[in-house]
């Protein structure tokens, strides 16, 4: 078991399984920062996984496929924003509607496009490339982990930095946080909360769509029915555990990825019933969440002088 | 005044709809088709186009209709969807069809429909049902109106296990490291059918090579293909050369993992080499259940009124219920000596010389015995 854990493959698995969760967690973070829970991440990821396959095939380019998918992801974010902000629909109900549409809609679109219902294997899609880093790849162990990862894994990590800078160093980022903290106070200084929340939800949709694209164009190389597998919901928990900050999102997603890779190794040696092993990632997240909020509570108590 | 009127209208509406319900119930009881046409309803807790089970069932019924003609046999397929959002409509749909009462037989399958069927079979004693691919518990009601057909997946899985065990040490194969004796198994989740696959697979492999080790993993569902791929990659990275997936579309992850690691993965339930032509080099062949054949067999027997609706039948190689696909692709990938041995084993199973252990039915292994078998081939 230890030889399996200490192998470069183990660390590659961590990065690979972290990537889609990380994109979705960032997406959830930015929406929550603006004061809206984006529960439609699951549906956006599922749609994006399918559209990634379809458009990379139609344009014969992974990059064009990714860009079109991101536009569609942003559009779904826009639709959610329209329902929530203009039509005053409950944000959870609107999101459930999008998620349900995605499970049926992806199959419908796949049938219309290729005649398949379960798997998109007849669509010749193009996956995002893997990055071989010169010099680094020759370093023993580390090279095997870092080099050869999918480019979207690196984009996810860059997105953490960019999103951090955006939220904390730009006026628009400040406005998003202000609206999320107190809508009325933000309105009173002339910020249009509706406009800000529109922007946040569109960005959230774009980020989630990159996670969805990775599922079928990097992680796997085809679309399979319902392949988002609940990652959009895990991301909601992960984001709130990470305090809805980009860096927090990265740490929690990594924790989840590590637990996932660890669970895979545990299954291999099958010492513990698999039902328990499959709980490990969720259990780790839950325990982390409890520790985090306990720390928060202590901090609050200290600040209020009790 | 307006409110009162509305209330009265609502009351009237309710009375009428109640009466309608009662009416349709009575219709249901006087069922049986009436005329000479034998009508079947196939209710799928999924959709057609799975290139597997459900398509097989549909093709079987279509073939039967072509053979007998529409004046003798017709059928209707209802696709209820497979997701958790669809689950809520499985039972009501089944009841709708029972209420209708015009179908000679209603066909449902898989373990997910067991609860709904058990209730419907008790509530509609005159409606006949065919239930495939999971054990029906006849003790839940006293009505003899369910014919239960199961497949000896353990038999076909035995052959896959034997082939995998031979392949993993075969030096002539391009994608095999003959130095170790590890093979993999990826299941969706633990249930009696998956266990039946598993015990057959392990026993087949052990009978070829007692020192074989089997890496075992469950995805936890039947749809997360990316998670399945990671688990299978872990198996391949830790010495497995050949794998077998029984995990629905999550199992497709194992096939991608095999292609990426340059290893082998056997397909299941449909011809996965044909389904995934890019990966065909890594898929020696697929293990199939012939749901279609079994339905033709059952309905023909029922037309002669010879089908017994209180029994469970297990269909194996002898009855055409299962098969290991032996096409040109299989001959290309799998060396001749292995194929010859597989043919021998199949004959021995058909003749009853080899009795494959099972996780289903009266001779089922207990959970402890299954665990013992799994432990005996644990990866070291």
pLDDT at A93: 95
Closest CA to B124 of B21, B17, B35, B30: B30
Q: What is the mean pLDDT of residues B9-34?
A: 44
How far is CA A298 from each of CA A303, A304, B52, B319, rounded to the nearest angstrom? 9, 10, 56, 69
Distance CA(B113)–CA(B57), nearest Å, equals 16
Residue B32: per-residue pLDDT: 44
Strand order of the β-sheet with B264-268 is: B213-218, B182-187, B240-246, B264-268, B286-289, B322-324
**Residue B3 vs residue B347, higher pLDDT:** B347
Q: Using one digit for the tens of pLDDT, what is the confidence trace for B269-314? A: 888 998 899 999 999 999 999 999 999 999 999 999 889 888 899 9
Q: Is A119 helix (H, G, I), strand (E, B) or coil?
A: strand
Residue B29 has pLDDT above 50, yes or no: no
Tell whether ipTM is more than 0.85. Answer: yes
Confidence band for B134, pLDDT divided at 50, 70 and 90: confident
Taking the C-alpha atoms of residue B105 and residue A272, their distance in angstroms, rounded to an integer, is 44
pLDDT at position B11 is: 52
Residue B282: its pLDDT value, please? 96
User: Which portions of chain A are predicted below pLDDT 50?
Assistant: none
Of A117, A261, A278, the CB nearest to B220: A278
Q: Is the pLDDT of residue B15 over 60?
A: no
Query: For residue B140, what pLDDT is reported?
Result: 77
What CATH number has the domain spanning A2-304?
1.10.3470
The single-letter DSSP state of residue A219 is I
Number of neighbours of residue B377 by Cβ within 10 angstroms: 24
Cα–Cα distances (Å) from B45 to B83, B93, B179, in that order, read 9, 10, 44
Query: How far from B111 is each of B53, B131, B132, CA to CA, in Å?
Result: 13, 10, 9
How does pLDDT run across A125-143, given as a tens digit for each residue?
Answer: 999 999 998 888 888 888 8
- Residues B184 and B244 sit within 8 Å (Cβ to Cβ): yes
To the nearest 5 percent, what fractions of chain B are helix, strand and coil?
50, 15, 35
Interface of A with B (CB under 8 A): 4, 7, 9, 13, 16-17, 20, 100, 103-104, 107, 111, 115-119, 121, 215, 219-222, 224-227, 229-230, 260-261, 264-265, 267-270, 274-275, 278
pLDDT in tens, B152-187: 999 999 999 999 999 999 999 999 998 889 999 999
Give all domains of chain B, ordered by start, each with its CATH number.
19-151+291-315 (3.40.50.2300), 153-288+323-376 (3.40.50.2300)
Residue range B66-104, pLDDT digits in tens: 999 999 999 999 988 877 778 888 999 999 999 999 999
Compare B30 and B192 and report the one with higher pLDDT: B192
DSSP letter for each residue of B42-79? EEESS-S--SSHHHHHHHHHHHHHHHH-TTTEEEEEEE
Residue of B50, B220, B230 lying closest to A16 (CB–CB): B230
Q: At B16, is the pLDDT very low, low, confident or very high (cuts 50, 70, 90)?
A: very low
Residue spans per domain, chain A: 2-304
Q: What distance in Å separates the CA atoms of residue B175 and residue B165, rounded to the nearest whole number? A: 14
Please judge whether B217 and A268 are an interchain contact, meaning their C-beta atoms are less than 8 angstroms apart. yes
Per-residue pLDDT, B167: 96
Residues of chain A contacting B250 with CB distance shorter than 8 Å: 224
Give the span between the Cα atoms of B255 and B234, in whole angstroms: 13
User: What is the average pLDDT score of chain B?
Assistant: 88
Is the pLDDT at B27 greater than 50? The verdict is no
CA distance B379 to chain A (A): 6
Checking if the pLDDT of B21 tops 50, the result is: no
A·B CB contacts under 8 A? 111
Share the mean pLDDT of chain A.
92
Interface contact B253-A226, CB threshold 8 A: no
Look at residue B258 and tell me whether its pLDDT is greater than 90.
Answer: yes
CA separation for the pair B191, B112 (Å, rounded): 11
Contact A229 B221 (CB under 8 A): yes
Cross-strand bridge partners of residue B264:
B242
**How confident is residue B18, by pLDDT bands cut at 50, 70 and 90?**
very low
Q: Would you call A118 and B226 a contact, using CB atoms and an 8 Å cutoff? A: no
Chosen for mutation from B50, B189, B194, B238 (greatest number of chain A CBs closer than 10 Å) is B238
Kindly determine whether residue A118 and residue B220, on different chains, have CB atoms separated by under 8 Å: no
The first and second tokens of residue A173, run together, are 């980022």
pLDDT of A287: 84
Q: Give the pTM.
A: 0.85
Contacts of B249 in chain A (CB under 8 A): 118-119, 224-227
Interface test with A, best of B56, B194, B227, B371 (most A CBs within 10 A): B227
Q: Does A268 contact B81 at a Cβ distance shorter than 8 Å?
A: no
């Amino acid at each position: 078991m230890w030889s399996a854990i200490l192998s470069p493959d183990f660390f590659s698995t961590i990065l690979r399984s972290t990537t889609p969760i990380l994109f979705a967690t960032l997406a959830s973070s930015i929406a929550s920062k603006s004061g809206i829970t984006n529960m439609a991440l699951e549906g956006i990821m599922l749609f994006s996984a399918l559209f990634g396959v379809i458009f990379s095939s139609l344009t014969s380019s992974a990059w064009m496929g990714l860009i079109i998918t991101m536009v569609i992801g942003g559009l779904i974010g826009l639709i959610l924003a329209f329902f929530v902000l203009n039509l005053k629909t409950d944000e959870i109900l609107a999101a459930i509607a999008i998620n349900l549409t995605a499970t049926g809609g992806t199959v419908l679109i796949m049938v219309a496009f290729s005649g398949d219902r379960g798997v998109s294997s007849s669509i010749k899609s193009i996956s995002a490339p893997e990055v071989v880093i010169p010099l680094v790849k020759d370093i023993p162990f580390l090279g095997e982990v870092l080099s050869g990862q999918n480019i979207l894994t690196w984009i996810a990590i860059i997105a953490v930095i960019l999103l951090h800078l955006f939220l904390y160093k730009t006026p628009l980022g400040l406005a998003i946080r202000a609206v999320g903290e107190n809508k009325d106070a933000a309105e009173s200084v002339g910020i249009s909360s509706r406009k800000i929340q529109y922007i946040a939800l569109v960005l959230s949709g774009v980020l989630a769509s990159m996670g969805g694209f990775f599922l079928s164009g990097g992680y796997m190389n085809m679309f399979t029915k319902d392949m988002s597998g609940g990652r959009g919901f895990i991301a909601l928990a992960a984001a709130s555990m990470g305090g809805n900050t980009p860096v927090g999102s990265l740490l929690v997603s990594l924790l989840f990825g590590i637990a996932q890779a660890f669970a895979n190794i545990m299954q291999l040696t099958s010492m513990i019933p698999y039902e328990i092993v499959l709980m490990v990632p969720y259990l780790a997240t839950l325990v982390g969440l409890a520790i985090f909020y306990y720390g928060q509570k202590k901090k609050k108590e200290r600040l209020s002088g009790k | 005044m307006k409110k009162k009127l509305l209330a009265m209208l609502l009351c009237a509406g309710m009375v009428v709809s109640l009466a309608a319900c009662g009416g349709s119930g009575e219709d249901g009881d006087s069922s049986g088709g009436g005329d000479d046409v034998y009508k079947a309803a196939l209710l799928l807790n999924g959709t057609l186009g799975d290139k597997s089970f459900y398509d097989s069932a549909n093709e079987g019924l279509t073939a039967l209709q072509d053979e007998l003609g529409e004046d003798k046999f017709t059928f209707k397929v209802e696709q209820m969807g497979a997701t958790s959002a669809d689950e809520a409509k499985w039972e009501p749909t089944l009841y709708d069809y029972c209420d209708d009462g015009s179908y000679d037989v209603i066909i449902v399958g898989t373990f997910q429909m067991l609860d709904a069927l058990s209730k419907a079979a008790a509530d509609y004693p005159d409606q006949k049902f065919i239930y495939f691919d999971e054990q029906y518990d006849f003790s839940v009601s006293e009505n003899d109106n369910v014919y239960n057909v199961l497949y000896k997946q353990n038999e076909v899985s035995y052959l896959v296990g034997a082939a995998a065990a031979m392949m993993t040490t075969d030096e002539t194969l391009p994608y095999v490291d003959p130095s170790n004796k590890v093979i993999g198994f990826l299941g969706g989740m633990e249930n009696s059918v998956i266990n039946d696959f598993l015990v057959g697979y392990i026993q087949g492999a052990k009978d070829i090579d007692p020192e074989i080790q089997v890496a075992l993993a469950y995805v936890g569902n039947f749809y997360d293909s990316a998670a399945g791929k990671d688990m299978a990659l872990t198996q391949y990275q830790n010495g497995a050369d050949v794998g077998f997936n029984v995990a629905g579309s999550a199992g497709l992850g194992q096939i991608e993992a095999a292609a990426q690691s340059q290893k082998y993965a056997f397909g299941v339930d449909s011809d996965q080499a044909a389904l995934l032509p890019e990966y065909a080099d890594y898929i020696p062949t697929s293990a199939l259940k012939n749901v279609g054949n079994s339905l033709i067999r059952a309905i023909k027997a029922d037309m002669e009124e010879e089908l017994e609706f209180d029994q469970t039948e297990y269909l194996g190689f002898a009855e055409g219920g299962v098969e290991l696909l032996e096409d040109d692709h299989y001959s290309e990938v799998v060396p001749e000596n292995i194929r010859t041995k597989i043919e021998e084993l199949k004959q021995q199973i058909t003749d009853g010389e080899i009795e494959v252990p099972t996780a289903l039915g009266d001779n089922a292994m207990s959970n402890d015995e299954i665990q013992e078998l799994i432990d005996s081939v644990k990866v070291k």
